[in-house]
Amino acid sequence: MTLQEYDYARESPSKLAASCLLLALTMKNLGGWTPTLEYYSGYNAQDLHPLVKRLNFLLTYQPHDKLNAVRSKYSHRVFFEVAKVTPMDMLKLEEALTSC
């Protein structure tokens, strides 16, 4: 989704990937940002928080009239129906990020 948004073009690909991973871990309640993830990514969790919030906002307020083929593809069980995952409430996300 970020490939379609110009605002994300200035973000480094590694930081964007790390932020997506942190958001996914938080959404699925699979734990926080571990020292191993920090070491190999080069980012600590606090550096990623603003971008994680922007990504969740993008998921929350995405227009449903665009990218129908992509949404349909990732709604299939082969791709674990990730397009159907509901975004986190912004307050709950904030609480989860402050705890990691």
Give mean pLDDT, residues 4-23: 93
What is the domain extent for residue 89? 2-99
| Residue 64: pLDDT band with limits 50, 70, 90 | low
Q: Give the SS3 label for residue 7.
A: helix
Q: Is the pLDDT of residue 34 over 70?
A: yes
Instruction: Give me the chain's average pLDDT, please.
Output: 89
CA dihedral 28, 72, 51, 93 (to 10 degrees): -30
Q: Is the pLDDT of residue 11 over 70?
A: yes
pTM of the model: 0.84
- For the chain, the domain total comes to 1
Q: What CATH number corresponds to the domain at position 95?
A: 1.10.472.10
Q: Looking at residue 82, what is its pLDDT?
A: 83
